[in-house]
Structure 1
């Protein structure tokens, strides 16, 4: 008997809810509702008609008018098509007639573009949007073409929800996953996510959707941050957040000077949100194009006003987009132990409006940055920014760390969103396995010879290289893998300071065997390397891969004879070049290393930085 009473009560409640959906209370609801209707080729003409019937039936549940509920409609496929604005049809018969006339289009599925259009255009005052009305987006979809399309749609949905648009996501069929719908819809998910098996079943949602629509609260006054939810108050939410944050700003040829200035204003706006101090948030800025230009170090002593002023005075560079190089630089030097704080979040915000010069290298460097515990936010600007590459650059999940805006003006919409996202990340413990004990992934015998001109460099720099080579060799598995042999050649003519491949089995042996050298030039070093280094009586093995690592600095001159000798050497030996100096400081360095140059040519800014680069050098030697 109790069960009957409970069920009867539930039935009465449900009837009451239906009455609420059609009754006086809901008729007094003030809301702006935009329907996003899938018109892609994945649905048939009759299924599209089922969508239109559903929208008409939902409209029947409301009082339509400028003081009550207004309805707009958009169809989307490859492109977004506006069917009518919120204020176009102010009577129910006129609205239902307009819905019935919406044409089917066909094509692909660009849900992201439709959501962006709705958020940016549909709720504006000139198109009927009312500041006091609830803003509601009803999205009907049967799936996404691929992961790239889903990430883009999720991001646009996040922007819309941050702008206080309530999104109701309706999934049709088995082609759309629950997690996809949950990523698009407002919270709580159980209130705003709907599922049906097919388009004919949409009408079963008519009353439930109407009830949920009636329950959406009206707009609050957004003129003051005090009226926002706590998670949308960036200064309160982020003010005391301790973090080390770098902005990596694209300064390539593709960026107009006015757009570069908009990047700077965006950086200044984000800085304005944080408490800038040595104990709270510290901000550094690096520009990148062909080369890397650290313009504001993270360990600066500037207060907020001074920091913003210095950002505003930065000058645009020119060149290509070497994204891999700037990620490598920040990982190796930006967050090194003597600069970054170990107990705070390490964050990078990278802005770009194009594809990098080397996608594979960029993806590799991004992966190394992630493994090093660096949170990377990737911001793509304009149509030329590659979503797949941004997905590789951004930390996981992409939905939280990837942003794409249509142009530089739109960056201003990211200010609060990006700041709040950055505030949610926590410091990650230093991964000792990545930083200090890298395991080389070599699965075949390899003989590696390290080469430098000890006489030209002098004792101090030669000593630095000796210690660094020992660390590199250890990270390559010298002490744990007996199929790896490592040797050193530091003079062009003599033999007393060289170490044969078969002689050294530990790091200390390098430093003991390498003494002062007695003269030599680069061309002679290369000739000696080619003729003698890998001979059997010097420990070389015919069954092993032969690799040489050549250290140079800015005093090195690459002559035609050197290039000729290097090319002859590369017929037998895989040749890496490590330049101690800025990128481009040795013209022709890319002509004396194996191909492709971006895998076999490395740059270390100064000799002081070499010991900090031994892990990444070992990684590149192993990976390639």
Structure 2
């Protein structure tokens, strides 16, 4: 095992003298040598259990993510959490950080200009307080950082990696005996590369076919040699390829303390699939991810043209993983090239920076903008409205499996500018917003709400929160109460934004209760930008107050 000592100027690797312990040199902290940390440094990256550090100015930026309130998940920015807690302000300062146990859930909130996010669970936490040394306690003047980068050790590529890994192996008849043996050889290579042990990675295996069953759990084998011998003895079950059922089994049964789950280690499930699943995987994957399980897919080969008609769920990988950027999925064109992905897979599952695929207020909604394009708005003001729409959209994590954005423009008539399924990246969405052309006409807001529901939200995924943001500058020529009530009853959370001549009673009728949190009014178009942080804050506050699955 290799741990890395890193400074802002670079990295170096220190090997321990013993295989069972790591000895670190610690010098006494003085007022002149308080270690500096950057805004993006997460508590999980620092090995020291308790330390004093100095944060720079400017760490309130939204890109420095914070998870939790009072007690923060170790995946959080330390300095961002310090601002959120009120320990320091945006100008920076000294803080005391103490590592504490992982929590079963983290509550998000908005405090001191920082929006923290909720998280179902995490393996380690920390608290921050004023950076004053405790009496009799010595603090390190140099912080010790962990790294997931690999280093060669006696012919193997070992990494600093403490994860609890479950492989879901394909035992269906479609894989055949020869390819089943190749799959087992791949698992043995992964076990060897991980260097399985109680201080590092642990590995269990579930075989799936018609029904899943545990071959062995996390605590069964504590070294690579015994694990490899056990893998060789696994017999093929046969049956169908019910991946969805297998993921449900993992979520409900595998990562239990009684099965060796350590709590302080990330939970990773790696699904091996020959061809395609014979059941649906999206819902089972979502529930597993919300339980804190990081899902990776290794797909080998796939259906040919004649077989594609039998695929139960198209694009099942993109629907199952938390990001569609290819990080959580590896496609192998042939079983005979499977050995080539051992090291890339090991590197990914040991990268703790990426193992936080949970549902948050920024990645779990379908947001539909309903934009007033009536004559009273005017071309210049309409561009200001589009910038407002873009500024809100920028705050979200946008992809096919994260937040999706759609837009409708209306006058007397309605026009679908783009739907949820059309734009799969943030840049795609921003480009689509720029391309919206001003229409001009009357103002039938009630008809627009009905249209948005029928054209946008009727196609929303069941696991997505449905949010409508309607922007108007005048009173509607038709009834808004009926359409808005129907939208609310069908689960659409509606925000109304009024400008200039918009009617307050209509804005309140359109908005979801409580009105004050879902309706906004401003005299001039140029002041719209002020509402962006408030709308995002309200969306996140509402999300964080809801019970998780």
Alignment TM class, shorter chain as reference: 0.3 to 0.5
Query: TM-score w.r.t. structure 2 length?
Result: 0.39
Query: TM-score w.r.t. structure 1 length?
Result: 0.34
Q: Which has the higher contact order (CA 8 A, sep 6+)?
A: 2
Structure whose residues are more often helix by fraction: 1
Structure whose residues are more often strand by fraction: 2
